[in-house]
Amino acid sequence: MSEHTHAERQKPAARLALSSGQIYSGAPFGAIGRDLISTGELVFNTAMCGYQESLTDPSYMGQILIQTQPLIGNTGVNPEDTESEKVQVAGFVIHEFTEHASNFRLNQRLDAYLADAGVLGIAGLDTRALTRTLRTGGVVQAVLTDRTDLSDSQLVEMARQVHSMSGQNLAAIAGKSDASEWTEGLGSWVMGPDSDDEGDAPSVLLFDFGVKSNIPRNLTQRGARVKLVPQSTNAAQIKQLFLDEEIQGVFLSNGPGDPEAVQEVVETLKELLADPDLVSMPIFGICLGHQLLCLALGAKTFKLPFGHRGANHPVHDVEAGRVQITSQNHGFAVDPDSICEAGGVITHLHLNDGTVAGFRHQARPIYSVQFHPEASPGPHDASGFFDLFMALIKDRVKSSVGDTAAYRTRGQK
């Protein structure tokens, strides 16, 4: 429980300084009084719930997060809803902090949770007006602090010295450095069917670039044995595992930062894609994994003005002729012309701005999506992608291409 009184939290003693020159004052909460100066790219999330999942999503590493939902903290926090082992955001910006949390699963209040994590929050800001500023001018770099010894002009100058996300390989920091086995399923939060396979369970190699926990949970729920590996895993190691039947497919996780800066993985994927012995190996990517896979094929990526972050993004499934509600969290996108020239077929388009939201390879069992099917959007609109990946593994013995219609017929009932 935070030791700070209600009056202390209401005192406008925290400041958020933007590189564009604006200064916002509000009430600090979380890690108060520790002389913290939190820096990062300032981004916003439009989801109406799930603030704990956002706070612990590794894709937010190096970013100060604005929550547009005006009331935050009302359900507290609990161990079940985390997406990683710690709070990942650099700072948290909200409109109103709820003093009295109420939820049958909570075990801690949000302010105490952030205090334990050493993360500062600021409340009392008009977060929707601030979001409109970012939507109009694009994301900016920012500084958040409750220190009183620094002037507004000093804070703005600090914000202008903060590095942009462009060029940053944060996946190397967010992902694990050692290989490990994942065994946890979805438990009571089942979005798809349990595996009904008989015999040996397929083994999936999951690249960890800052993976959200619900990704391996979904794979495990569907009967896969998941091996988490760091981004330093090379193509020769993967090839040997595949040829020895120790893995049956490769999954590329989400993660933070600029995809073009993760050159080590791009080169590894290029080697895998160029190897004639691996043309039947199913590969699937989510978010950063999607971008890295496209770069390996020869496509290009670019930085979005303010990114896509929220749980209500509409996506057009071009091949199935339907619209899905998706959860998204990314600041970069794939150039559509370049992925088509590289042998990709665009399968999904973001309906707000027409950016690429998914593709499949025209001749190989390779798929990826820019959004997060593990995040319960819709709430089950996109969960069938995990069924598709498992279907590609099953179909490998029948065809080196896989079943391109599988997504329409599996997991979408």
* Domain span(s) for CATH 3.50.30.20 in the chain: 6-161
Choice among 290, 330, 361, 372 that is catalytic: 372
Domain with CATH 3.40.50.880 in the chain: 171-409
Spatial strand order in the sheet of 249-252: 180-182, 225-229, 203-207, 249-252, 283-286, 366-369, 356-361, 344-350, 301-317, 322-334
Tokens 């602090």 correspond to what residue? 145
Residue from 83, 260, 287, 330 carrying the catalytic annotation: 287
Q: Which residues pair with 285 in a beta bridge?
A: 252, 368
* Active-site residue, 95 included: no
For the stretch 41-66, pLDDT in tens is: 999 999 999 999 999 999 999 999 99
- Buried b or exposed e, range 204-242, using 16+ CB within 10 angstroms: bbbbbbbbbbbbbbbbbbbbbbbbbbbbebebeebbebb
Please state, in angstroms and rounded to a whole number, the distance separating the CA atoms of residues 137 and 23.
16
End-to-end CA distance of the chain: give it in Å, rounded: 45
DSSP state of 193: P
Rounded to an integer, the average pLDDT of 19-39 is: 97
**pLDDT band for position 405 (cuts 50, 70, 90):** very low
Q: Where are the alpha helices (DSSP H) in 360-410?
A: 384-395, 406-409
6 in catalytic set:
no
What value, to the nearest 5°, has the Cα angle with vertex 334 and ends 331 and 338? Answer: 160
Length of the chain: 413
- pLDDT at position 395 is 85
Joined tokens for residue 152: 């507004």
The C-alpha atoms of residue 222 and residue 185 are separated, in whole angstroms, by 9
Least confident of 78-87, 89-98, 177-186: 177-186
Reduced to 3 states, what is the DSSP secondary structure of residue 235?
Answer: helix
Q: Helix crossing, 288-297 with 263-274: angle to 10°?
A: 60
The active-site residue, picked from 41, 53, 83, 374, is 374
* CATH superfamily for domain 171-409: Class I glutamine amidotransferase (GATase) domain (3.40.50.880)
Look up residue 262 and give its amino acid: V
* Helix (H) and strand (E) counts in the chain: 13, 19
* pLDDT value of position 190: 60
> Using the 8-state DSSP alphabet, how is residue 276 labeled?
G
Cα–Cα dist 69/46, whole Å: 7
β-pair partners for 65: 43, 92
Distances (CA, A) of 8 to 21, 30, 204, 236: 27, 12, 50, 58
66 strand-pairing partners = 44, 93
pLDDT class for 166, splitting at 50, 70, 90?
very high
Q: What is the mean pLDDT of residues 272-293?
A: 97
Least Cα distance to 339 among 316, 380, 369 occurs for 369
Query: Tokens for 346?
Result: 């665009």
Give the residue carrying structure tokens 């160029």.
274
pLDDT tens, 359-403? 999 999 999 999 999 988 877 788 899 999 999 998 875 554 444
- Give the per-residue pLDDT at 189: 58
Tokens of 124: 């009392």
Q: Which CATH architecture has domain 6-161?
A: 3-Layer(bba) Sandwich (3.50)
- pLDDT band at 11; cut points 50, 70, 90: low
Distance (Å, whole) CA 65 – CA 41:
8
The pLDDT > 90 percentage for the chain reads 84
Q: How far apart are CA 389 and CA 384, in angstroms?
A: 9
> What percent of the chain stands above pLDDT 70?
90
Q: Is 294 annotated in the active site?
A: no
**What is the residue-averaged pLDDT of the chain?**
91
Q: Write the pLDDT tens digit of every residue in 182-221.
A: 998 876 556 555 554 545 689 999 999 999 999 999 999 9
Measured CA angle at 204 (ends 345, 344), to 5 deg:
10
Helix (H, G, I), strand (E, B) or coil at 306: strand
Q: How many CA atoms lie within 13 Å of 92's alpha carbon, on the beta-carbon side?
A: 31
Distance between CA atoms of 228 and 8, rounded to whole angstroms?
Answer: 44
What are 376's two structure tokens?
């319960």
DSSP per residue, 238-252: HHHHHHTTS-SEEEE
Amino acid at 241: L
User: What tens digit of pLDDT does each residue of 298-325 get?
Assistant: 999 999 999 999 999 999 999 999 999 9
What is the mean pLDDT of the segment spanning 262-285? Answer: 97
Kindly tell me the burial class for residue 381, based on how many C-beta atoms sit within 10 Å of its own C-beta (0-12, 13-18, 19 or more): buried
User: pLDDT value at position 347?
Assistant: 98
